[in-house]
Structure 1
Amino acid sequence: MQKKIFSYFALVDRARSPGVARKIDNTVLAAAHLGLVSKGNVFPTSRSGVIKFIVSLIKEDADIIMIRFSDLVFPVLFLVMVTHRVRGHVVIIDVPTPRIIGLKEIDATTKNKMKGLFRKIWSYCSGGWVLYPASLVIQYAAEGAWFSLGVSGKTLKIGNGIAIDDNIPLVKNVWPDDNLRLIGVAQLASWHGYDRLINALAVLKEKYGFDSVQLTLVGDGDELQKLKRLVENLGLRDQVSFTGMLRGDELDRAFCGAHIGISSLGLYRKGLNEASDLKTREYIARGLPVIGVGKDPDFEENSPFRFVVSNDDSVESLVELLYSLKGRELPCKESVRRFAEENLSLVGKLSMILGLR
């Protein structure tokens, strides 16, 4: 029996979004693990990259085609997707962030106001109809009513998955320790909320004389200089370090002694109270419990692997949590990793999406 062919298409800047690119590559590997002939088609976000993306998608003849949603190009792809459905192909649309939230990201990331306004009008006009040809739409958090119109019946909300193998080594931390070591890895933006954490460290130091918390922030981005200034102004240079973007062995070394990973602490800045971010899954896969806000579909409300603080600008809940952790038992890295293998595996998630289990 001839194997089915799975093909993933995406417009991604690999240099600026290595985590996203890695997830796409791992999705292709997961499809191969499930017995499909799989291939990835990742194109740069330049004009020439977009043209090659569209032309390649038109020519594709795979049985299952998964496309990462892009607000700018999807209206152009409508007839392309219709053609694929007529040819008997399964078309799955992977929507990494609810489109209603994408509008707020446009405000935060687009410096040219006219360009940002055009993108928002373009996105609103696209509505739900651009997804009508899809066989299935994948969402990782609740979508707005306008963008769900006509497609809610074929939408599957699911938690993000991650490839878990020897390429993601377990941390080598020891707990209890003299210092609580935190790590945050991101393309630094306001909705990661790391400013809240830095302010909480300042309160801990000033109010409780507790300065035994070390924070390492890995990554670049628009918020980097602002966060550095905040650390300088609060006198926390001995507690907070910035490494810039790290990959491979350098990233593994940054993780090595950490005790807890820091997920996004500013979801409210995007109007979210639920998310399924990749960084949480990488922390868990490495054996680190996490601190986050809001809901995550893969974690129970009182999960021992995910500490939840308030989803707002306040720092009190962060201060209380961090202060309580100094005398608290943390889950062992082996149990955290086992939770990831049983609940966060990309192979398992893709199997559900493709209806293989």
Structure 2
Amino acid sequence: MRGVYISQDLSHAGGIEKKIYRQIEEFEKNNFTIYKAINPKRNIFHLIRNVIPFFSKQYFMSDNINWIEYDFVYIRKGAVLDKSVIGLLTKIKLQNPQILIIMEIPTYPYIDEFKGLLKWIIKSKEKLWVPKLKLYVDLFVTYSDDKKIYDIPCLNISNAYDFPEHPPLIKCSSDSIQLLGVAALCFYHGYDRVIEGLNNYYQSSKSQRQIQFQLVGDGPVLKEYEQLVKKYQLEDKVTFHGRIAFSDLDRFYQTADIGIDSLARHRSGVFYNSSLKGKEYLAKGLPIISGVKTELDSENLSFYYKIPNDDTPLDIEKVIEWYDSLKKNMSKKELTNFIYKYGKSNYTFEKTFQPVVDYLKERETKRK
């Protein structure tokens, strides 16, 4: 089968960009021929154009494709489903009525990830154009647990990570506990809950253990976090490292004890999410704390700690109790290897993307 993979530029988000190319590799490993229609890095002109009514264009690398030559299209949804997206889908189906159109929705629901005027612009555009999607899209690939979105059937898959061949290296553990958060810091990551929790812990009489929070990344809420740390005088407990090259992250993972996943997805209206960051933590052998339901919830995993899906501060004392219980039965090295092996058995790209490959092969068989 021949297919076209369409995506906006995501070079600013290394983990997501890597995921796109790994999905393409999975198609190619299964004998699909893929044409990559991935936008180059956007400039200020593209960003301004995309907020102007009737002038936005989401996928400008797909202009000169002869769609009759292809069996399917795999489109990664961008920020907004606007007139240009429907125009592209119309063009594809007019040229090739038999072509399969699959659209990946990385997060759903997504509208509450935006704020203010931008949110109003996106909602206004989508109210007009989203109802037309069902005329063209055969299937949504989603990391949510929805069975239908916009009256279109969903294929639910899990996020994945490119697991290394061998378990990660770790440095010797100490009595202190190192919490690690790696993200493009947005309000729904909820790391303020960790900072508030640390403040409560160090204000209490039970603060016997040293608990530190290493925060890697930058984003819209970085200054808010910095102000909160300054307010509580936690500068020696919380360290901001800024944006780090993807290749340099291992030095933080090697000294971390616990990976902090998103703790406030409820703020963006999301109550189930197959977290990409969670899979990276698995690959690094880290126990995980999450504030949103994921596929790990159903597994009764000792190394996965779920906290309430609300704005309450992280209870550091309970985190210490949970983490110490993990280390009662195995060393840190054994725990790291156990988590890594679990992740590698369940969340490689080969395994999680196979349902998409199977769907296309099955449709092709029926068509023949």
From 298, 301, 317, the equivalent of 1:300 is: 298
Cα deviation 1:273-299 (Å, max 9, x = unaligned)? 211121111111111121002311254
Contact 1:198/1:231, CA 8 A, preserved across alignment: yes
Contact 1:179/1:212, CA 8 A, preserved across alignment: yes
The reply to whether residue 34 of structure 1 matches residue 30 of structure 2 is yes
1:219–1:343: structure 2 CA closer, same or farther, 3 Å change rule? same
Contact 1:81/1:134, CA 8 A, preserved across alignment: no
Cα deviation 1:319-350 (Å, max 9, x = unaligned)? 34323145322471111111112211111122
From 22, 29, 34, the equivalent of 2:18 is: 22
Cα deviation 1:171-230 (Å, max 9, x = unaligned)? 41444x221111111100110000001111111111122451121111110011111111
Report matched runs for 1:246-257 at 5 Å: 246-257=244-255
- Structure 2 counterpart of 1:53, one-letter code: M
User: In structure 1, what is the equivalent of residue 2 of structure 2?
Assistant: 5
SS in 2 for 1:311: coil
1:37–1:54: structure 2 CA closer, same or farther, 3 Å change rule? closer
From 83, 102, 106, the equivalent of 1:96 is: 106
1:62–1:332: structure 2 CA closer, same or farther, 3 Å change rule? farther
User: In structure 1, what is the equivalent of residue 338 of structure 2?
Assistant: 335
Separation of aligned partners in 2, 1:170 and 1:6 = 36
Unpaired runs of 5+ residues, structure 2, are: 47-56, 328-333, 363-368
Identical aligned residues as a percent: 22
- Structure 1 counterpart of 2:203, one-letter code: E
Report matched runs for 1:1-357 at 5 Å: 4-15=1-12, 17-43=13-39, 44-46=41-43, 50=58, 52-56=60-64, 61-70=69-78, 71=80, 72=82, 73-83=84-94, 86=97, 88-98=98-108, 101-107=109-115, 113=117, 115-143=118-146, 148-151=149-152, 154-166=153-165, 170-175=168-173, 177-207=174-204, 208-300=206-298, 302-315=300-313, 318-325=315-322, 327-330=324-327, 332-355=335-358
Q: How many residues align?
A: 338
SS in 1 for 2:272: coil
- Structure 2 counterpart of 1:36, one-letter code: F
- Structure 2 counterpart of 1:245, one-letter code: R
Contact 1:64/1:90, CA 8 A, preserved across alignment: yes
SS in 1 for 2:306: strand
SS in 2 for 1:332: helix
1:128–1:262: structure 2 CA closer, same or farther, 3 Å change rule? farther
Unpaired runs of 5+ residues, structure 1, are: none
1:6–1:337: structure 2 CA closer, same or farther, 3 Å change rule? farther
- Structure 2 counterpart of 1:348, one-letter code: K
Separation of aligned partners in 2, 1:37 and 1:89 = 15
Contact 1:173/1:259, CA 8 A, preserved across alignment: no
Separation of aligned partners in 1, 2:34 and 2:169 = 31
1:38–1:286: structure 2 CA closer, same or farther, 3 Å change rule? farther
Separation of aligned partners in 2, 1:228 and 1:294 = 24
Separation of aligned partners in 1, 2:35 and 2:297 = 31
Tell me which structure has the larger Cα radius of gyration.
Answer: 2
SS in 2 for 1:14: coil
SS in 1 for 2:324: coil
SS in 2 for 1:241: strand
Contact 2:147/2:155, CA 8 A, preserved across alignment: no
1:57–1:192: structure 2 CA closer, same or farther, 3 Å change rule? farther
1:85–1:143: structure 2 CA closer, same or farther, 3 Å change rule? farther
Contact 1:85/1:133, CA 8 A, preserved across alignment: no
How far off its partner does 1:144 sit? 10
How far off its partner does 1:75 sit? 2.4
Contact 1:267/1:273, CA 8 A, preserved across alignment: yes
- Structure 2 counterpart of 1:157, one-letter code: N
> TM-score normalised to the size of structure 1?
0.85
Q: Which segment is superposed worse, 294-303 or 182-191?
A: 294-303
Contact 1:171/1:258, CA 8 A, preserved across alignment: no
> TM-score normalised to the size of structure 2?
0.83
SS in 2 for 1:170: coil
